[in-house]
Amino acid sequence: MKERGRLSKEEILDMPLGSLITTISRSHMAFLFSEIEKLGIGGQFQFLMGLAREDGIIQEELASRFHLNESTIARALRKLEDAGMVQRKVDENNRRRKIITVTEKGRAAVDAISEIDKKWEERVQSLSLDEKNKLKEMLQVLAVESMELMYEFRKGKR
């Protein structure tokens, strides 16, 4: 008997590429969320990770990078700010812009999240390290191509 909420191997084998990637992503996110809750943050961790790569970015640019509206970003940043993970400062050259920087507490959380991510990758053991690296390279190519298609689609819609 099939376990409730669990896909069968046959269902997985019948999935198109996009659905396979989504399934992997969802299981990865479920693992991350179960661990990240302990750090006192939730879905905002993605923004924190993005900010750590580009500290000092303005709020509008962050919204653009994540393809979200500024009010969604503002709510996420407020939660990160309340948790002591980021600071928002007014840009002295343009008082309407806010520059976001990651705090020491935020950097410690980024390090912890990176370790959680490594733990997930170690638990996915059916591929060798070489196979994982090749798969990652192929998925990076598909991700770039997919993003370009999305930009093209959005540009045509505007």
CATH, residue 94: 1.10.10.10
Residue 134 domain boundaries: 126-158
Considering the domain architecture, whether residues 58 and 30 belong to the same structural domain is answered as yes
Based on the fold, state whether residues 44 and 63 are members of the same structural domain: yes
Measured CA distances, 36 to 7, 22, 53, 96 (Å)? 25, 20, 19, 32
Please give the Cα distance from 30 to 111 (Å, whole number).
19
Same domain membership, residue 144 and residue 113: no
Q: Is the pLDDT of residue 111 over 90?
A: yes
Mean pLDDT in residue range 61-82:
88
pLDDT at 7 (0 to 100): 84
Query: What is the total count of domains within the chain?
Result: 2
Token code pair at residue 47 = 């923004």
pLDDT at residue 80 is higher than 90: yes
**pLDDT for position 118:** 92
98 and 35 assigned to the same domain: yes
State the pLDDT confidence band at 1, using cuts at 50, 70 and 90: very low
- 130 and 110 share one domain: no
Rounded Cα–Cα distance for residues 20 and 28 (Å): 12
Q: How far apart are CA 6 and CA 11, in angstroms?
A: 10
Q: What is the pTM of this model?
A: 0.76
Whole-number Å distance between alpha carbons of 35 and 123: 14
| Average pLDDT over every residue of 66-88 | 90
- Do residue 87 and residue 135 come from a single domain? no
Where helices occur in the chain by DSSP H, the ranges are 9-13, 17-36, 45-53, 59-66, 70-82, 104-123, 129-157
